[in-house]
Structure 1
Amino acid sequence: MLKTKCLHPGILNVLSKCGHGDKILIADGNYPVDSNTNKNVEKVYLNLTHGIPLVTDVLKVLNKTIAIEKLEVMIPGDDTKPSIFDDFKNIVSSVDCLEELGRFEFYEACKEENIKLAIATGEQRIYANVLLTVGVA
């Protein structure tokens, strides 16, 4: 029996293959996972219904499963900071700051070959997407 926080076999399979510098996308319910990720990324659709699960739920589990070196977020074009960004920093206290990317810059980052996993959630808050960089255990 596993003692890790993550029990999803598909996610665990991909995480076991990730190395330092590989990335994982946790996407909100509005993110176009099919069209804005690379063709080789493993896609996991956890979006059961509106609001289940939340991006922060998935982030909490992954934070207890892998080392996270960096967080990248998609920022609105109007210089506002979505409140979920504070949640991200509180959950992953090992990172000092969030790297902010514009919408289209974030989309391009999610198409890179080092994105190994994309997890779709039921998150309804906008700009609640986060790219995790796998750190050294």
Structure 2
Amino acid sequence: MLINIDPLLSPDLLHILRAMGHGDEIAIVDANFPGTTNAQRLVRLDGISVTRATEAVLSVMPLDDFVEVPAVTMEVVGNPDEVPPAVQELRAIVGDRGQCGTLERHAFYARAKQCFAIIQTGETRLYGNIVLKKGVVRS
């Protein structure tokens, strides 16, 4: 047990987050996402929502403030201006930490494939996917 660490952050996930460097990216994805196919490193959080997982990760990992858009979600196929409920919540979580952009579905898959790791959640709402770029920890 550790003090002030979100209990959702398992030893394996904490290791991944600690091993990431500035500019590395992590994808937090829904239950439909092809995580095993695309991940260099995969952590499963079955039964956990994408928003809860994102909150836990951002409780210990800063977003990159050297880039304009340190977080991206997946666009709705055929309607890129639509903002599904899961994406609305993800944008609110990112909040004042930086802008949250969007990527077309296949571009999102390609970006996720390059991520340091993928966290596969049990999120069942469609388009519950986000990529986060790690920032610098300042003292």
Q: Which structure has more helix as a fraction of its residues?
A: 2
User: Which residue pairs with 2:122 in the alignment?
Assistant: 122
Preserved CA contact (<8 Å) 1:72 1:98: yes
Structure 2 Cα separation of the partners of residues 36 and 116 of structure 1: 11
User: Which residue pairs with 2:93 in the alignment?
Assistant: 91
Distance 1:17 1:85, change over 3 A: same
How much does 1:104 deviate?
0.4
Distance 1:103 1:11, change over 3 A: same
Aligned amino acid, residue 124 of structure 2: Q
How much does 1:110 deviate?
1.3
Distance 1:18 1:65, change over 3 A: same
| Identical positions, percent | 30
Structure 2 Cα separation of the partners of residues 132 and 72 of structure 1: 7
Structure 1 Cα separation of the partners of residues 113 and 93 of structure 2: 25
> What TM-score, normalized by structure 2, do the two folds share?
0.84
- Any unmatched runs of 5+ in structure 1? none
CA-to-partner distance for each residue in 1:59-115, whole Å, 9 max, x for gaps? 111111110231111101213111222211221223343211000000111122xx1
Residue 34 of structure 1: SS of its match in structure 2? helix
How many residue pairs get matched? 128
Residue 116 of structure 2: SS of its match in structure 1? strand
1:10-21 maps to which residues of 2 (within 5 A)?
Answer: 10-21=12-23
> What TM-score, normalized by structure 1, do the two folds share?
0.86
Residue 37 of structure 2: SS of its match in structure 1? coil
Aligned amino acid, residue 97 of structure 1: Q
Structure 1 Cα separation of the partners of residues 98 and 43 of structure 2: 28
Counterpart check, 1:5 vs 2:6: yes
Out of 26, 47, 54, the residue aligned to residue 24 of structure 1 is 26
